[in-house]
Amino acid sequence: MIDPVRSEILQVLAELSEAAPEVRLGQLMANLSYLARGLSSEAIWNMEDEELLAVAREHLEPWRSHRGATA
């Protein structure tokens, strides 16, 4: 069974992928790790799932707001 946090991360990543299809998945993960942990080469390795989820949600919110405003 997939951990609930990981399941939600995957859902948010899917939404971010829809919102910004031009951003490659690797780029997205690296960018989110820098937002969560700061600009270092270790950020992507040290980021915890909870940190990833929090920053992914935060990053997704402007896309959701923009989509709601144009709908």
pLDDT digit string, tens, across residues 28-54: 999 999 999 999 989 999 999 999 999
Indicate the number of domains in the chain: 1
In a domain, 11, yes or no: no
Residues 55-66, buried b or exposed e (16+ Cβ, 10 A)?
Answer: bbeebbeeeeee
Q: Supply the pLDDT for residue 63.
A: 78
What is the rounded average pLDDT of the residues 11-18? 96
In a domain, 18, yes or no: no
Q: Supply the pLDDT for residue 62.
A: 86
- For residue 66, the enclosing domain spans 24-71
In a domain, 16, yes or no: no
Is pLDDT of 71 > 60? Answer: no
In a domain, 52, yes or no: yes
Is pLDDT of 64 > 80? Answer: no
Query: Which of 16, 38, 19 is CA-nearest to residue 28?
Result: 16
